Amino acid sequence: MDFIEILKVIFLGIVEGITEWLPVSSTGHMLLVDEFIKMNVSEEFKEMFFYVIQLGAILAVVLIFWKKMWPFGLTEEKKPAIKKDIFSMWFKVVVACIPGAVVTILFDDFIEAHLHTPVVIAIALIFYGVAFILIENWNKKRDAKVATLEDITYKTAFLIGLFQVLSIIPGTSRSGATIIGALLIGVSRVAAAEFTFFLAVPVMIGMSFLKLVKVGFAFTGAEYVILAVGTVTAFVVSVIVIKFLMSYIKKKDFKLFGWYRIVLGALVLLYFGLVA
């Protein structure tokens, strides 16, 4: 493997690390970047690579939110203890995962075959960009009903999970769909983002595992290097981006990401309209 190929993988890892957590669609960005930066690998491996490097992004979430995610601890007397509130949150995450899991199993192959196109991505980018702006303007007139992560109920979790189903369309954004849904039903920005991080752990691990099983593990030495470099890069960048996002939304809203999506979507439509 030459140096240029390594640079391509690092760049893709950077794109994944940035766009996985910002509500701008990581899948959409990865597919668009692939239009201009071609890795010297098979199509099957490349498709799997785009999913597996998400494990790096997930490790970043686990690292940052470990205390909020790990349900086992010690009492003051150093005896094993279970944190019931964290266990409860993971059960809510399971409830939220159900709609997306069902839809993915039923329609994933169809979506990949028919909707992974620049036009679909561009339309989704623009549509949900407008949605972010409209919802944030609407939210100025009301207070959040669910202020913290702990206030999320099973009903709220399931409703957020229904919105996550929308993310099966490339260009939507998994984090974007869940955050929009959470904001609509009265969840605060911080709680919406944190629940999105929780929700991403089983979803992305599951998707990566399914892709690995589908492709198999018979990789060449160069392919193992590609996976390792991409995953590590996505991990490092994700740590930075998650910390930035949590700091950003404590002071500002998501409208900036809405405008970004609209501009990017318009540029994609323009570019592919001209080259078609």
At residue 112, the pLDDT reads 79
Domain containing 91 equals 3-275
Tell me how far the alpha carbon of residue 136 is from its chain's centroid.
20
First vs last C-alpha separation in the chain: 33
Sorted by sequence, the CB contacts under 8 Å of residue 4 that are 6+ apart come out as none
At residue 115, the pLDDT reads 84
At residue 235, the pLDDT reads 96
At residue 34, the pLDDT reads 81
186 torsion bin: left (phi>0), alpha (psi -120 to 50), beta (else): left
At residue 144, the pLDDT reads 77
Domain count, the chain: 1
At residue 1, the pLDDT reads 66
Extract the residue ranges of the chain whose pLDDT is less than 70: 1, 275-276
